[in-house]
Amino acid sequence: MADPSEDLAAARQTIAALEAQLRQRSADLAAASKELESFSYSVSHDLRAPLSTIDGFSRLLENAVTSGNAERGKHYLQRIRLGVANMNELLGALLVVSRLSRAEMVVQTVDLGALAHSAFAALQEAEPERAVQVEVQAGLMARGDPALLKQLIDHLAGNAWKFTSKKERAQVVVGSRVEPDGATAYFFNDNGAGFDMSQADKLFGIFQRLHVSSDFPGLGAGLATVQRIVMRHGGKVWAEAAPDQGATIYFTLDGRP
């Protein structure tokens, strides 16, 4: 005869498993909805800008050809080609970000500290004239997909490197802290340009920029990529900053696909 207590325990385990699956499905649905919203915004706003540029200079090129002004026509053609290149970059970044939600994950122990050292070494090699003091906490281990976490660390390192470019004494600290709920929060802290926290809701949106491109070039897709990688790992990402006083990007990793 079956033990009622064992049956009850098995039923509770089954219910707990189903609840966990439901929570995961809900999280996946929310992520997919946000992805669709972000894609719709990008198509209706960000991708229209280079199209408008192409259209405008095409009309000017037509007039230049009609009037026989070859020099102006050549200039307009160059601007059209720049618009096409910009469109290509935006579409490429959009595809990369969208594919993150479908990428297969292989979870294992990853040395985030080693990834950070490698990322900053590559940045220093590319810009040997820069003097950036980088401090990486020892023992920064995490559970996650190695390829995705490398992308995450590369983007955060590049972000800190870029936004400290106008500082005479640039400093970046990579470390971790324990949150009140016991979770480990990893962080990248820099003394760079920072930003106004009233605009923090735009920080992780694709193609959303809090600084003008002439000061800090880029498409504005890096932190959007970071957010999606963190979400794939069941974690969360947030930031703290102040204008011209630097910024800190925090993220947690649940370690499960």
Residue 240 belongs to a domain: yes
Looking at per-residue pLDDT, the higher value among 98 and 147 belongs to: 147
C-alpha Rg value of the chain to the nearest Å: 23
Q: Are 70 and 155 found together in one domain?
A: no
Higher pLDDT among residues 12 and 144, named by residue: 144
Has residue 25 been placed in a domain?
no
Q: Are residues 176 and 118 in the same domain?
A: yes
User: pLDDT digits over 134-181, tens only?
Assistant: 999 999 999 998 888 998 999 899 989 998 988 889 999 999 999 998
Shared domain check, 80 and 133: no
- Say how far apart CA 245 and CA 243 lie, in whole Å: 5
DSSP state at residue 256: -
**Residue 23 maps to a domain:** no
96 with 154, same domain: the answer is: no
Per the structure, the count of domains in the chain is: 2
Please report the pLDDT score of residue 212 as a whole number. 47
Each residue of 208-221: pLDDT tens digit? 555 545 555 554 56
Which of 32, 65, 100 is where one domain is finished? 100
Tell me, yes or no, whether 154 lies in a domain. yes
Among residues 62, 79, 100, the one where a domain terminates is: 100
Q: In this structure, are 179 and 234 located in the same domain?
A: yes
Note whether 123 and 206 are same-domain residues.
yes
Q: Which of 20-29, 35-44, 162-171 has the highest mean pLDDT?
A: 162-171
Residue 113 has pLDDT above 90, yes or no: yes
Residue 6 lies in a domain: no
Domain membership of residue 3 (yes or no) is no
The yes-or-no verdict on residue 48 having pLDDT over 70 is no
Q: How confident is the model at residue 51 (pLDDT cuts 50, 70, 90)?
A: confident
Q: Which domain holds residue 88?
A: 47-100
Least confident of 9-13, 38-42, 100-104, 106-110: 38-42
| Pair 115, 240 in one domain | yes
Of 69, 84, 100, which marks where a domain is finished? 100
Distances (CA, A) of 248 to 76, 121, 193, 240: 42, 20, 11, 5
pLDDT value at 63 more than 80: yes
The pLDDT of residue 80 is above 70 = yes
Q: Are 116 and 230 within one domain?
A: yes
Q: Is residue 159 domain-shared with residue 209, that is, in the same domain? A: yes
Most confident residue range from 1-10, 21-30, 77-86: 77-86
Does 228 reside within a domain?
yes
Percentage of the residues of the chain whose pLDDT score is greater than 70 = 74
Q: What is the pLDDT of residue 238?
A: 94
Average pLDDT in the 60-73 region? 84
- 72 and 193 together in one domain: no
| 91 against 156, higher pLDDT | 156
Domain annotation covers residue 257? no
pLDDT of residue 175: 97
pLDDT-derived band of residue 257, with 50, 70 and 90 as boundaries?
Answer: very low
What's 181's domain CATH number? 3.30.565.10
pLDDT mean over 79-91: 75
- Residue-level pLDDT at 256: 46
Lowest mean pLDDT among 73-77, 86-90, 222-226, 229-233: 86-90
